[in-house]
């Protein structure tokens, strides 16, 4: 049977499908990760109506695929082709920045002490509450454009700088509008405040911290989340998942359990910020509740990692945050020993990870945490898609979304080797080549 295509990518040095087999060596570690890359030397990709229809060696393309009349043809010019990256953990929607407190942090003051003096997350909350939906969309769109220039085609967007019903809904609406592909054609030369730049998935993080006005009565804020915010977010269809920051200075184990159970009941998938500073049992909780991922994990013990692995919870590494906070990074060999899948994300946020560069994060995951280059490549694509609960992307296989990126490097291992500053030469979103990406 011959397949019809409306887009082909040719001229590649290699295509990494991320759909290779898991070997008996396991899913992680040098051998397992290498096989899972599904590397096709001189590979080609064909798509139709926004989905991949064929991936294989370019010399077999002609016998397998016919091009439709207006088919687009992308010449990779000897570069590597990867699935579009999934940035599976971001706080993309916020106003203001925190460069002043960054100076205090670098002078030695702790994250917690800055937060206790009214800085930290609350300072971004004040700026975000004061911003209009259009202003927030403009800011998030600029960040999304930068992410896309690095080859990102799907971005997870958390709320969590509103921390009151209306402001949380506004942030989630921005996340949704940002992902309305095709609804807001980009206009040449004007500020890109229109959304539609990347695909998004949205996560409700009303449980980021207890906002200042509820500090004396935190139980009321947890009630507010469970009784008003989650029902409103779910009934308006504004979030795909719910996240809780379970750590010292944020929410405790019982509060996290109640919030996540309520969210699960409302039909939301679950995520968790766990073990950034202390292990409060987040690995076990994520496993017990069937969360998609637990993220940060710098302080997580082996018991927590093992529980996550048994339950298929993905571990998300956030190098920008451990670097900014000057923490001891997690150790990939412990994750490997537990058989835990490792994803990597930017954690783009104004406090602990002001970056929109997934390749910088991948490079730091390799240097600081000891991931192999192959594990890093899996970590920003297929493992990130799993962490975000998106089985239709992160890999190039027939039926998957035709979201891909071409890089001007013949060997894809160069991408996490460079210390950031890696840009895609082409990005394809839903089978549509993006000009000037």
Given Fe ion, ligand NIG, none, residue 12, with its beta carbon under 5 to 8 Å by kind, binds none
Q: Which two tokens stand for residue 98?
A: 């925190």
Given ligand NIG, Fe ion, none, residue 120, with its beta carbon under 5 to 8 Å by kind, binds ligand NIG
The whole-angstrom separation of Cα 53 and Cα 47 is 5
Neighbours of 257 (CB within 10 A): 17
CB contact at 8 A, 45 and 9:
yes
> Is there binding between residue 309 and ligand NIG (CB under 6 A)?
no
Instruction: Give least dist CB 208 to Fe ion, A.
Output: 8
- Closer to ligand NIG by Cβ: residue 199 or 208: 208
Which residue is closest to ligand NIG by CB?
351
Residue 25 has, within 13 A of its CA and on its CB side, a CA count of 11
CB contact at 8 A, 311 and 360:
no
Instruction: Give least dist CB 330 to Fe ion, A.
Output: 15
Given Fe ion, ligand NIG, none, residue 245, with its beta carbon under 5 to 8 Å by kind, binds ligand NIG
Q: Check residue 148 and report its DSSP letter.
A: H
CB contact at 8 A, 212 and 122:
yes
CB contact at 8 A, 338 and 27:
no
The whole-angstrom separation of Cα 379 and Cα 395 is 12
Instruction: Give least dist CB 197 to ligand NIG, A.
Output: 22
β-pairing, 426-429 vs 432-434, is: antiparallel
> Is there binding between residue 159 and ligand NIG (CB under 6 A)?
no
One symbol per residue from 69 to 108: x for binding ligand NIG (CB under 6 A), - otherwise; what is it? ----------------------x-----------------
> Is there binding between residue 124 and ligand NIG (CB under 6 A)?
yes
Instruction: Give least dist CB 243 to Fe ion, A.
Output: 8
Given Fe ion, ligand NIG, none, residue 200, with its beta carbon under 5 to 8 Å by kind, binds none
> Is there binding between residue 202 and ligand NIG (CB under 6 A)?
no
Which residue's structure tokens are 């206790």? 116
- Closer to Fe ion by Cβ: residue 76 or 86: 86
- In the region spanning residues 341 to 370, those forming contacts with ligand NIG, defined by CB under 6 A, are 347, 349-353
CB contact at 8 A, 249 and 112:
yes
Chain positions contacting Fe ion, by CB under 5 A: 347
> Is there binding between residue 47 and ligand NIG (CB under 6 A)?
no
Instruction: Give least dist CB 355 to Fe ion, A.
Output: 12
CB contact at 8 A, 232 and 165:
yes
- Closer to ligand NIG by Cβ: residue 108 or 185: 108
Given ligand NIG, Fe ion, none, residue 83, with its beta carbon under 5 to 8 Å by kind, binds none
Q: Which two tokens stand for residue 234?
A: 């779910």
The whole-angstrom separation of Cα 330 and Cα 308 is 15
What's the gap between Cα 209 and its chain centre?
Answer: 21
The whole-angstrom separation of Cα 372 and Cα 80 is 18
> Is there binding between residue 120 and ligand NIG (CB under 6 A)?
yes
Instruction: Give least dist CB 243 to ligand NIG, A.
Output: 9
Q: Which two tokens stand for residue 1?
A: 């049977």
- Closer to ligand NIG by Cβ: residue 32 or 275: 275
- Closer to ligand NIG by Cβ: residue 27 or 324: 324
Given Fe ion, ligand NIG, none, residue 350, with its beta carbon under 5 to 8 Å by kind, binds ligand NIG
Q: Which two tokens stand for residue 207?
A: 């449980």
> How many residues contact ligand NIG, by CB under 6 A?
14
The whole-angstrom separation of Cα 404 and Cα 72 is 14
The whole-angstrom separation of Cα 111 and Cα 101 is 9
Q: Which of 40, 76, 280, 321 binds ligand NIG (CB under 6 A)?
A: 321
> Is there binding between residue 245 and ligand NIG (CB under 6 A)?
yes
Q: Which residues contact 181 (CB under 8 A, 6 or more apart)?
A: 196, 199, 429, 430
Q: How far lies 161's CA from each of 29, 57, 103, 324, in Å?
A: 37, 47, 21, 19
Q: Which two tokens stand for residue 224?
A: 């507010």
- Closer to ligand NIG by Cβ: residue 120 or 394: 120
CB contact at 8 A, 282 and 243:
no
Instruction: Give least dist CB 282 to Fe ion, A.
Output: 13
Q: Which two tokens stand for residue 49?
A: 């109506």
Q: Which of 143, 199, 273, 393 binds ligand NIG (CB under 6 A)?
A: 273
Given ligand NIG, Fe ion, none, residue 352, with its beta carbon under 5 to 8 Å by kind, binds ligand NIG
- Closer to ligand NIG by Cβ: residue 111 or 194: 111
- Closer to ligand NIG by Cβ: residue 83 or 329: 329
For ligand NIG, the binding residues (CB under 6 A) are 91, 120-121, 124, 245, 273, 276, 321, 347, 349-353
């Amino acid at each position: 049977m011959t397949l019809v295509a409306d887009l082909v990518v040719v001229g590649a040095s290699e295509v990494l499908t991320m759909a290779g087999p898991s070997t008996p060596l396991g899913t992680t570690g040098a051998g397992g990760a290498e096989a899972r890359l599904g590397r096709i030397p001189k590979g080609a990709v064909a798509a139709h109506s926004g989905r991949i229809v064929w991936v294989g060696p370019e010399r077999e393309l002609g016998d397998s695929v016919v091009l439709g009349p207006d088919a687009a043809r992308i010449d990779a010019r000897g570069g590597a082709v990867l699935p579009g990256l999934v940035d599976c953990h971001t706080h993309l929607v916020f106003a203001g920045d925190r460069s002043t407190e960054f100076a205090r942090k670098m002078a030695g003051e702790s994250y917690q002490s800055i937060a206790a003096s009214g800085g930290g997350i609350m300072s971004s909350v004040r700026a975000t509450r004061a911003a209009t939906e259009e202003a927030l969309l403009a800011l998030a769109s600029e960040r999304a454009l930068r992410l896309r220039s690095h080859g990102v085609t799907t971005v997870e967007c958390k709320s969590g700088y509103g921390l009151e019903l209306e402001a949380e809904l506004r942030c989630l609406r921005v996340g949704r509008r940002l992902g309305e592909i095709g609804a807001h054609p980009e206009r040449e030369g004007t500020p890109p405040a229109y959304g539609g730049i990347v695909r998004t998935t949205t996560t409700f993080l009303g449980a980021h911290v207890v906002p200042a006005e509820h500090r004396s009565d935190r139980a009321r804020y947890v009630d507010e989340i469970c009784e008003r915010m989650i029902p409103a977010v779910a009934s308006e269809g504004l979030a795909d998942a719910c996240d809780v920051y379970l750590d010292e200075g944020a929410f405790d184990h019982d509060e996290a359990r109640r919030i996540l159970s309520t969210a699960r009941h409302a039909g939301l998938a679950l995520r968790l910020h766990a073990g950034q500073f202390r292990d409060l049992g987040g690995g076990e909780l994520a496993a017990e509740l069937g969360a998609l991922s637990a993220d940060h994990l710098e302080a997580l013990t082996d018991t927590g990692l093992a529980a996550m692995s048994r339950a298929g919870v993905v571990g998300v590494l956030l190098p920008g945050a451990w670097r900014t906070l000057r923490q001891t990074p997690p150790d990939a060999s412990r994750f490997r020993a537990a058989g835990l899948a490792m994803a990597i994300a930017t954690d783009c946020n104004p406090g602990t990870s002001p970056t929109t560069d997934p390749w910088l994060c991948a490079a730091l995951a390799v240097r600081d945490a000891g991931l192999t280059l192959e594990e890093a490549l899996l970590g920003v694509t297929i493992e990130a898609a799993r962490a975000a609960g998106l089985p239709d992307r992160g890999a190039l296989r027939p039926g998957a979304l035709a979201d891909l990126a071409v890089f001007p490097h013949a060997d894809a291992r160069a991408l996490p080797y460079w210390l950031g500053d890696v840009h895609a030469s082409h990005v394809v979103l839903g089978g549509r080549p993006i000009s000037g990406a």
